[in-house]
Every structure is written in structure tokens, then in C-alpha cells.
Homo-oligomer: A and B are copies of this chain.
């Protein structure tokens, strides 16, 4: 499966690396609009750079060879991953339709850009053979994984109320805030994450409330979930621990804050310090009758990357759900719990 990555920012560059790491797909090139250091590093990795026709001269001046324009890149691929800024994917869709190429969009697009919204644990099968699939956003991915972990382990959900402290900006977004404020984001309730989670989880009673805080490293969710049953804490911990792409971090091992979890990822030698897994603060997992409380971190730069790879496989019918999840995770170096693959 020949894959084009359109948009080479926070998500695009990571998806490109992840595609290049798989043995059943090939990165044919990336489309980038500015000849900055990102373009230079991509070229140095051996990725073919495609750029807008009217900017090729700028790329050439920066020493970056350009292999063609957007239409050229699309025509050389079997599938496109569109990781452009919010709304640009919808504008690009016409080109993918015209070229007869399937495409994966990101969560910044409206749900109706695609036939189906996607999270590997929640609804892999619904994307199989589809032409247009949208990977839900980082926060929605976090929610979908945690709620799926419960469901997959027989813990039905009566309702979920999730309170999100969003990172204000990505590390490289030096102009974006807030820097000393807490911003209702949005002020209206629910935030878009709850309804968005329903696009992959189906009928679930979920309300989300979100604020933005002066942080660039990760989101933090504080979840209150009412279960059908009254499980032990151990059963919930086991459900989380046995699910791929969820990791548990104990305060007693030194994980006192999200920064410590980031430090772990750096010490692990992960590329860019990426945390592809949902990072559950294990000490926070509390069960009180039907009530479950927990906190978990979501690395906004990385968490959707494995989902994009699985979405490619679903569209291309390259593998079934658990085979794809395991394959993606092994190729990326995601920590395997070993229980729940297949």
C-alpha cells in the first residue's frame, strides 16, 4: 500500500515516520507548504517532498528538492493521509475524490468529511473497505480507548462525565496561549469531545467539559464513570492494564506528574519523546460501588499516530483489527501488554 502524507506538521511528520516503520506499506512522499527545517529533516530522512507549484523556488533555495505538486503526490499513492490544519482536509477532499484515492482525515475536520469516524479499539471494523475515514482527535482518542477498555472487559457504561484540562498549545507553537490563565474551551457544555466520542463508541451517555491550561506537554482527563456493575478496583485495573495502548503509571515509582511521564518517554529513547499510549495515573483509579474515577494523560502530538496506521489497514483491508493493532504497536515500539491482542 503506497501512502502519501499531506501536511507535515505535528501529526503528519509522525504519521510519515510510522508509515515508514511498517512492512506492509510504503511512504511515497509528503506534501509540505513551507521550506523550513522540517522540510530539510524530512528530505534528509529520504522522504520525497512535494510542495505547491508557486513555492518550489523557495524550497530549492532552502536546498530541498521538490518532486512535484499535490496532484502528483496523490496520483502516486494508493491512499492519502491528510494531516493538514483543521478545515484544510475538507478543502482537499475534492482532489482525493477526483483522483479516485481513499483518504484518512484527522479529528480537526468535521465528522461529515468522512463516511466513518475511527478509533482502532472502538470501531475498527466499521472502517474496513471504506474510502473516507476520519481518525478522531487526541482527546476523543483517549476517551475512546478508556471506555473501550472497560467495555471489552465486560464492564458496561451507564454514563461517562469527563473533565479535561487541555494543553494550551503544542511545544512548537510559540505564539499560542494561554500562558497564565484557565480558559473554558469551550464555555458551553458539552465540549465537542463527548459528541465526537459517540461517532466511534456509538450510543453512550457521555458529557465532556474542557478548559485550556498553560501546558504544552499533554492533556489531562479527570473521568467520572458510572458502570452497570460494581466491579472491584482490581478488575478495573486489570481491564485497563490488559488493553493495548493504555499504560499505568504509579506515583510510588516516581510518576508524580505528567512531566515525569514525559521524562520516562525521553529516558526510554522514544522518538521525539512520544507517548502513543493513554497514560493512566494508576493511583487515581478509584471504585466506589458503580462509580469509577480515574485520571489519565493524553499526549496530543502522538496518541493518534497508531490509529492512523490502523485506519490505513482498515481501508486497504490489509489486516483485521487485532492483527493490525499488534502489527502497528510492534513496529512503533509501543509497550505490549500481551493479553489483549486477538
Contacts and interface: CB of A to CB of B under 8 A. Distances in A.
A269 B266 contact: no
Interface in A205-243: 214, 216
Given A259-B172, A260-B174, A267-B41, A36 B254 contact: yes
B41 A268 contact: yes
A272 B267 contact: yes
A188 interface: no
Q: How many copies does the complex hold?
A: 2
10 contacts: A37-B253, A37-B254, A38-B254, A41-B267, A171-B259, A171-B263, A173-B259, A174-B256, A174-B259, A269-B272
B37 A264 contact: yes
Nearest to A171: B259
Residue with the greatest number of chain B CB neighbours at <10 A, chosen from A256, A266, A267: A267
A269 B44 CA distance: 12
B174 A253 contact: no
A38 B272 CA distance: 18
Contacts of A273: 266, 272-273
A131 interface: no
Nearest to A253: B37
A13 interface: yes
A85 to B, nearest CB: 16
A271 B272 contact: no
Contacts of A331: none
Contacts of A40: 253
Interface string A95-126: 00000000000000000000000000000000
Interface in A258-299: 259-260, 262-264, 266-269, 271-273
Contacts of A173: 259
Residue with the greatest number of chain B CB neighbours at <10 A, chosen from A172, A214, A260, A273: A172
A22 to B, nearest CB: 18
A254 B34 contact: yes
B174 A255 contact: no
A335 interface: no
A182 interface: no
A37 to B, nearest CB: 5
B259 A266 contact: no
A174 B257 contact: yes
Nearest to A14: B267
A62 interface: yes
A23 to B, nearest CB: 20
